[in-house]
Amino acid sequence: MLTDVRIDGGPMLKRIRPRARGTAFMIKKRSSHIHVGLTPIDEV
């Protein structure tokens, strides 16, 4: 039986991509933490 589901933001990998005229563009590679809580069937 499903009791708890939670999705939180995780660490972000930051990368730089070169752009026109010597400027830079920040790329954020996002990740997440996924938590799933379960209870055994015999406790239901």
Please indicate, yes or no, whether the overall pTM of this predicted structure exceeds 0.85.
no
The answer on pLDDT for 44 being more than 70 is: no
> Using an 8 Å Cβ cutoff, are 30 and 4 in contact?
no
pLDDT in tens, 26-43: 999 999 999 999 988 886
Full DSSP string of 4-28: EEEEEE---EEEEEE-GGG-EEEEE
Spell out the residues 6+ positions from residue 8 whose beta carbon is closer than 8 angstroms to its own.
32, 33, 35
* pLDDT tens, position by position, 2-22: 889 999 999 999 999 999 999
- For tokens 């730089």, what's the residue? 16
- Specify the pLDDT at position 6: 95
Q: Considering the chain, what is the average pLDDT of its residues?
A: 92
